[in-house]
Amino acid sequence: MQKQAIFQSKLLPYALVAPQLAIVLIFFYWPALQAVIQSFLLQDAFGLSTTFVWFDNYVELFRDPAYFEAIVRTFVFSFAIAVSSLSFALLLAVMADKPLRGSMLYRTLLIWPYAVAPPVVGVLWIFMLHPSLGIIARYLRAIGVDWNPLLDGDQAATLIILAAAWKQISYNFLFFLAGLQAIPKSVLEAAAIDGARPMRRFWTVTFPLLSPTIFFLLVVNIVYAFFDTFGIIDTMTRGGPGTSTVTLVYKVYSDGLLGGNLGSSAAQSVILMIMVIVLTGIQFRFVERKVTY
Amino acid sequence: MALRQFGAATAFALTVGMTASPALAVTEIQWWHAMTGANNDVIVKLANDFNAAQSDYKVVPTYKGNYADTMNAGIAAFRAGNAPHIMQVFEVGTATMMAATGAVKPVYKLMADAGEKFDPKIYLPAITGYYSTSKGEMLSFPFNSSSTVMWVNLDELKKANVEIPKTWPETFAAAKKLHDNGHPTCGFSGSWVTWVNLEQLSAWHNVPLASKANGLDGFDTKLEFNGPLQVKHLEKLVELQKDKTYDYAGRTNTGEGRFTSGECPIYLTSSAFFGNVKAQAKFNFTAVPMPYYPDVKGAPQNSIIGGASLWVMGGKPAEEYKGVAKFLTFLSDTDRQVYIHKASGYLPITKAAYEKAKAEGFYKDQPYLETPLLELTNKEPTENSRGLRLGNMVQLRDVWSEEIEQALAGKKTAKQALDAAVERGNTMLRQFEKTAVK
């Protein structure tokens, strides 16, 4: 059987991939390169004075103990967000996959939160849990819980994780549902005939067959938690109380955009980029072995 | 960001396309601002009135998001080579704008070059001091100014049989009494924690916040707000936070609803809170001057302003600057200032406008609208109360808030927190100094 497509002209394949390559170069590599260049510079917000400072921006970062705290915090947050949103989404998907009356409606409703922009997610959760604005916060206080994320760092961190995970659940749900529906019914039926109970069927048949989806979502969720949560943090806590919700990406945002310190901000984003590359590499190297396609 | 700018540019192009008059000689002047709601209406009306009053220039106001968004949009536009003519920048952005020599055109220079009549003495010195060099040269044009006042729920005070407090010890006592009589979650509170409890506190007691006249005389300034007064004040707040006689309400103004809902009967925040109080409060209220410590000699001094000013961006043709100058003269008009004052609740910026509003009896029914003016003009401003000019002020405030939160949460003592706030702030100021254009 002929598997390879044969191009008559040598140029045609290049021409066909050129648009994609151009997009990748312009929108991914060019900005990344700019960040690397910027990270060696010291520049005012208006770009009027520029000095080349070699690795000063990096050195200053690693001299700052707060930066290491932010690194650890980011990993904790990312892990918590990824695990909670993945497991909850899987639970919902398994339930929505059952033959239920009105399951289409449930599915649609479960997908909705994904359409909400991160800062809006922040505002939504503030309206529920802000100590002076929130409805749920009022009830919590009424039953004697000292709910005050404005001063309690752990509560604030929980709030951020909750909001960020909630937003990602829809996305994960969508993929899990598609994954579940792609599992051949005959396999499950065969297992049932062999006498496997639902839980056993899930862990021995469904879960392994879902592993490519889980792996993909794990990578996507980690990247999401690393990069996409600053809008939520900005609207909900602005990194406070103290520095208990300052993550790496929020620090990039606040130092660069609020502080006008573009050099340090760029250095931080380069470090962040390297971290995610390494992390993704590790996932593909070690976690992927457990994936059966 | 790029997409938003594109959107704004498209919207702008459409508006211009639809409203452009056939006269080709009209020079357009772009005005970027951050005003919403009723205040946006004021801006549009000002632009329309100016455009109707003459035919050479056309002021085009564009809303660019909140203060920080507007400033970032302006900076990005400048870097891309198409900055607006006039940009509204909040007071904490002053140092950043000022450091950008060449990016901005100082107002005093603009007026002189354009040959407009301009006397900086007609403006309230407490306001212009913030935006002028030590030689008295006005760098930006004051537009909307406010100050910190203490909002009081008169009904609740009466119920608890509490007098309106004048000093801090009285305020603490009043809050204790209120706390014990129906306000277990909040005796008193406030917004903008650093503005109220560090910046205004220092000016109000004639104590420096930073060296070099709080940064007005140069960027090589050092923070000094870890002195005995500020430490004592924060210690008191920490102590009262324990049983919620004082309850921290966040870094910005998100806690203001606690006053209008009646939860906190005493609340320190901007005088610009007036619009919301009027619309939402279902009780009798007033605004009185900030409390002071009677054992500090000479206190109270005068307060400093909040709000924003108009910066003129650099690198535009002389002909366009002429229009900008004419527009600023137009804004300085007494009647117009009285109108802005009444319509927005912000302060009048000229002495004549203040006198006129007073003569009209405007403050008889609404004495609390005069409170911020009385605070600002309480005494001749000193080195410590003229204003603040610190680089990266937005981020500085976040760092200071972080440390204050640590103290209020009991993780650090007041002294430790303020020492750390000073130290971390100084590092950021040195960073700013390095990048500021010499």
| pLDDT of res. A42 | 86
Q: How many domains would you assign to chain A? A: 1
Nearest partner of B185 among B278, B79, B96, B262, judged by Cα: B262
> Within chain A, how many helices (H) and strands (E) appear?
14, 2
| pLDDT of res. B51 | 95
Partner B contacted by A239 (CB < 8 A): yes
Q: Which residue has the tokens 């008295």?
A: B136
Q: How many domains would you assign to chain B? A: 2
Give the end of a domain, one of B313, B338, B369: B369
A31 prior amide bond cis, ω within 30: no
Nearest partner of B290 among B170, B182, B393, B127, judged by Cα: B170
Q: Are residues B185 and B229 in the same domain?
A: yes
Cβ–Cβ of A258/B395 closer than 8 Å? yes
Q: Residue B190 in contact with residue B197, Cβ under 8 Å?
A: yes
State what percent of residues in chain B have pLDDT above 70.
94
Cβ–Cβ of B96/A47 closer than 8 Å? no
| pLDDT of res. B14 | 47
Q: Are residues B152 and B256 in the same domain?
A: yes
Per-residue pLDDT reduced to its tens digit, B171-208: 999 999 999 999 988 999 999 999 999 999 999 999 99
The arithmetic mean of pLDDT across residues A121-137, rounded, is 84
Residue A10 lies in a domain: no
Both tokens assigned to A154: 């752990």
Residue A123 lies in a domain: yes
Pairwise pLDDT comparison (B67 vs B7), residue with the higher score: B67
Both tokens assigned to A121: 């997610």
Q: CA of B103: which chain A residue's CA is closest?
A: A46
CATH, residue A103:
1.10.3720.10
Per-residue pLDDT reduced to its tens digit, B53-99: 999 999 999 999 888 889 889 988 998 888 999 999 998 888 888 88
Per-residue pLDDT reduced to its tens digit, B211-235: 999 988 888 999 999 999 999 999 9
Partner B contacted by A155 (CB < 8 A): no
Domain boundaries, position B407? 148-302+391-437
Q: How far is C-alpha B54 from the chain's CA centre? A: 31
What distance in Å separates the CA atoms of residue B86 and residue B141, rounded to the nearest whole number?
10
pLDDT at residue B16 tops 50: no
Per-residue pLDDT reduced to its tens digit, B248-279: 998 888 888 889 999 999 999 999 888 888 88
- What does pLDDT average to over chain A? 88
Q: Element (H or E) spanning B71, and its range?
A: helix B67-79
Name the pTM for this structure: 0.84
What distance in Å separates the CA atoms of residue B317 and residue B322, rounded to the nearest whole number?
9
Q: Which residue has the tokens 């690693």?
A: A62
Q: Residue B276 in contact with residue B256, Cβ under 8 Å?
A: yes
Report chain B residues whose CB lies below 8 A from the CB of A152. 409
| pLDDT of res. B17 | 45
| pLDDT of res. B23 | 47
| pLDDT of res. B29 | 94
| pLDDT of res. B66 | 84
Q: Give strand pairing partners of B141.
A: B310
Cβ atoms < 10 Å from Cβ of B337: 22
ipTM, two decimals: 0.79
Q: Are residues B156 and B269 in the same domain?
A: yes
Both tokens assigned to A278: 């390494």
Residues 6 or more apart whose Cβ sits within 8 Å of residue B212? B218, B220, B221, B222
What distance in Å separates the CA atoms of residue B354 and residue B351, rounded to the nearest whole number?
5
Residue A45 lies in a domain: no
Pairwise pLDDT comparison (A137 vs B168), residue with the higher score: B168
Both tokens assigned to A213: 């989806």
The arithmetic mean of pLDDT across residues A33-45, rounded, is 89
> Between A262-282 and A56-63, two packed helices, what is the crossing angle to 10 degrees?
70
Specify the DSSP class assigned to residue B88: E
Give the number of C-alpha atoms closer than 13 A to the C-alpha of residue B423, restricted to the C-beta side: 8
Q: Are residues B250 and B322 in the same domain?
A: no
Residue B81 lies in a domain: yes
Residue B184 lies in a domain: yes
Q: Residue B60 in contact with residue B356, Cβ under 8 Å?
A: no
Q: Which residue has the tokens 């955009």?
A: A257
Per DSSP, the residues of B125-193 read HHHHGGGB-TT--B-SEEEEEEEEEEEEEHHHHHHTT-PPP-BHHHHHHHHHHHHHTT-TT-SEEESSH
* B392: nearest CB among A152, A238, A259: A259
Partner A contacted by B249 (CB < 8 A): yes
Residues 6 or more apart whose Cβ sits within 8 Å of residue B150? B171, B266, B267, B268, B287, B288, B289, B290, B291
Kindly report the nearest CA distance between residue A47 and chain B, in angstroms.
Answer: 7
Q: Give strand pairing partners of B57.
A: B27
pLDDT at residue A291 tops 80: no
The arithmetic mean of pLDDT across residues B316-333, rounded, is 93
| pLDDT of res. A120 | 86
* B402: nearest CB among A42, A242, A264: A242
- In degrees to the nearest 10, what's the CA dihedral of B21, B22, B28, B34? 20
Q: Are residues B255 and B112 in the same domain?
A: no
Cβ atoms < 10 Å from Cβ of B394: 18
> How distant, in Å, are the alpha carbons of A50, B1, B175, B388 from that of B64?
27, 12, 40, 25
Report chain B residues whose CB lies below 8 A from the CB of A151. 241, 248, 405, 408-409
Q: Are residues B169 and B214 in the same domain?
A: yes
| pLDDT of res. B193 | 94
* B251: nearest CB among A126, A152, A238: A238
pLDDT at residue A231 tops 60: yes
pLDDT at residue A173 tops 90: yes
Report chain A residues whose CB lies below 8 A from the CB of B394. 258-259
Residues of chain A numbered 21-60 and touching chain B (CB < 8 Å):
42-49, 51
Residue A125 lies in a domain: yes
Partner A contacted by B227 (CB < 8 A): no
| pLDDT of res. A27 | 92
| pLDDT of res. B21 | 46
Domain boundaries, position A243? 54-290
What distance in Å separates the CA atoms of residue B305 and residue A288, rounded to the nearest whole number?
59
Strands (E), B279-431: 285-288, 305-313
Report chain B residues whose CB lies below 8 A from the CB of A242. 402-403, 405-406, 409, 411
Report chain A residues whose CB lies below 8 A from the CB of B100. 44-46, 48
Q: Which residue has the tokens 């979650």?
A: B185
Coil, strand, or helix at residue B361? coil
| pLDDT of res. A1 | 52
**Pairing relation of β-strands B86-90 and B305-313?**
antiparallel
What distance in Å separates the CA atoms of residue B194 and residue B190, rounded to the nearest whole number?
10
Residue B2 lies in a domain: no
Pairwise pLDDT comparison (B401 vs A43), residue with the higher score: B401
pLDDT at residue B318 tops 60: yes
What distance in Å separates the CA atoms of residue B337 and residue B141, rounded to the nearest whole number?
13
- In degrees to the nearest 10, what's the CA dihedral of A96, A122, A243, A46? 130
Residues of chain A numbered 112-131 and touching chain B (CB < 8 Å):
126, 130
Q: Are residues B222 and B350 in the same domain?
A: no
CATH, residue B94:
3.40.190.10
Partner B contacted by A255 (CB < 8 A): yes
